[in-house]
Chains A and B, each alone.
Chain A
Amino acid sequence: QQPVQSPQAVILREGEDAVINCSSSKALYSVHWYRQKHGEAPIFLMILLKGGEQKGHDKISASFNEKKQQSSLYLTASQLSYSGTYFCGTDYSGYSTLTFGKGTMLLVSP
Chain B
Amino acid sequence: DAGITQSPRHKVTETGTPVTLRCHQTENHRYMYWYRQDPGHGLRLIHYSYGVKDTDKGEVSDGYSVSRSKTEDFLLTLESATSSQTSVYFCAISEGGSGRMDYEQYFGPGTRLTVT
Residue pair A94, B101 in contact (C-beta under 8 Å): yes
B12-51 CB contacts (< 8 Å) to partner A = 31, 33, 35, 40-45, 48, 50
**A42 in complex: contacting residue of B59, B97, B98, B107, CB < 8 Å:** B107
User: Which residues from A are CB-within-8-Å of B110?
Assistant: 41
CB distance from B74 to the nearest CB of A (A): 14
Give A84-99 interface residues, CB cut-off 8 Å to B: 87, 89, 91, 94-99
Q: Is the CB of B58 within 8 A of A49?
A: no
Residue contact B104 to A2, C-beta cutoff 8 Å: no
Among A12-20, A66-74, A75-83, A100-108, the one that faces the other chain is A100-108
Q: Does B64 contact A (CB under 8 A)?
A: no
Residues of B within 8 A of A94 (CB): 98-99, 101
Q: Is the CB of A47 within 8 A of B98?
A: no
List A residues 21-79 near B (Cβ within 8 Å).
29-30, 32, 34, 40-44, 47, 49-50, 53, 55-56
Interface residues on B, range: 20 to 34
Q: Is the CB of B43 within 8 A of A87?
A: yes
Contact A102 B40 (CB under 8 A): yes
- The listed residue (A53, A96, A99) touching B103 by CB distance below 8 A is A96
A residues sitting closer than 8 Å to B (CB atoms) are 2, 29-30, 32, 34, 40-44, 47, 49-50, 53, 55-56, 87, 89, 91, 94-103
Chain B residues in the interface with A (C-beta under 8 A):
31, 33, 35, 40-45, 48, 50, 58-59, 90, 94, 96-110
Known contacts A42-B90, A50-B101; can you find 4 more A-B pairs with CB under 8 A? A87-B43, A95-B96, A96-B31, A99-B45
Between-chain CB contacts (< 8 Å), 29 pairs: A34-B105, A41-B90, A41-B110, A42-B90, A43-B107, A49-B101, A49-B102, A55-B102, A55-B104, A87-B42, A87-B43, A89-B43, A94-B99, A95-B96, A95-B98, A96-B97, A96-B100, A97-B33, A97-B45, A97-B58, A98-B45, A99-B59, A100-B35, A100-B44, A101-B42, A102-B40, A102-B41, A102-B42, A103-B42
